Amino acid sequence: MKITVNPGHYPGLDPGAINPETGLQEATVNQQVGEKLASRLKNYGHDVLLIQRNELYEITDESNTWGAELFISLHCNSFTSSEAHGTETYHFPDSEKGSKLASLIQAEFIGSLGLADRGVKAANFYVLHYTDCPAVLLEMAFITNQEEAALLENQDWQGKAADAIAAAFQRYIQGAGADETAGLKDPAGNNGKQVETTDSHDLES
């Protein structure tokens, strides 16, 4: 299976969310977890495209050209209140395959790491809209919450996060079957209605 792993944001140009007390940058965490996840997926025998770019269109274009069959974008959540916490996973609206993959990742992540379950949600984020395969965006935890920021920075925790995500991919692939998933564009395509989004996940005009 060909799987694209996209650590969100870009170190040095777009740090993403930043912890106000420690200065921990989302782009760095995403990169570190992404590298670990790519390694786990390769160990399962999958081909992996690890791509972190400053421009969203470059990410989707390269993934589509490469022929990705599944796609995940990794992020850390943020909020003005440091009390916000937990994990949530997004898929493209009306994408049955994306919804299934998102649900498996959410369940595995919560079950393995014990964070609060903020649910599986639909959104018209750019990388979900313009990929030609089932795609999800995972908000692992809140970088603005001090307890969760400490977890996000911890290398052992990052490894467990990567293990959980990779296991969810395996469950999806084994359940879907190669004929159902490989080489097929998600029937939802790009025909979902745009929903209001925030931050750099936004669908660009």
Q: Which two tokens stand for residue 149?
A: 């920021």
φ and ψ at residue 130, rounded to 5 degrees = -105, 15
- Reading across the β-sheet that carries 47-50, which strands appear in turn? 47-50, 2-7, 70-77, 135-142, 87-91, 117-122
Q: What is the pLDDT of residue 69?
A: 98
Q: Is the pLDDT at 64 greater than 90, yes or no?
A: yes
Range of the domain at 74: 2-201
- pLDDT tens track for 9-59: 999 999 999 999 999 999 999 999 999 999 999 999 999 999 999 999 999
Q: What is the mean pLDDT of residues 101-118?
A: 98
Q: What is the pLDDT of residue 191?
A: 30
- pLDDT tens track for 70-104: 999 999 999 999 999 999 999 999 999 999 999 99
Length of the chain: 205
- 3-state secondary structure (DSSP) of residue 139: strand
CATH number, domain at 51?
A: 3.40.630.40
Q: What is the mean pLDDT of residues 119-133?
A: 98
The answer to whether the CB of 165 falls within 8 A of the CB of 37 is yes
Provide the 10 A C-beta neighbour count for residue 77.
Answer: 22
Residue 176 binned pLDDT confidence (cut-offs 50, 70, 90): low
Q: Is the pLDDT at 193 greater than 70, yes or no?
A: no
Q: Within the chain, how many helices (H) and strands (E) appear?
A: 7, 6
Q: What is the pLDDT of residue 45?
A: 98
Q: Is the pLDDT at 174 greater than 50, yes or no?
A: yes
Please give the mean pLDDT across all residues of the chain. 90
Q: What is the pLDDT of residue 126?
A: 98
- 3-state secondary structure (DSSP) of residue 18: strand
φ and ψ at residue 62, rounded to 5 degrees = -65, -40
- pLDDT tens track for 29-43: 999 999 999 999 999
How many domains does the chain divide into? 1
Cite the DSSP H helix spans in 67-192: 96-113, 126-129, 146-153, 155-176, 178-181
Q: What is the pLDDT of residue 201?
A: 61
Task: Enumerate residues 6+ apart whose C-beta is below 8 A from 25.
Answer: 9, 11, 15, 16, 17, 18, 19
Q: What is the pLDDT of residue 20?
A: 97
Q: What is the mean pLDDT of residues 94-119?
A: 98
Task: Enumerate residues 6+ apart whose C-beta is below 8 A from 168.
Answer: 101, 104, 105, 107, 108, 109
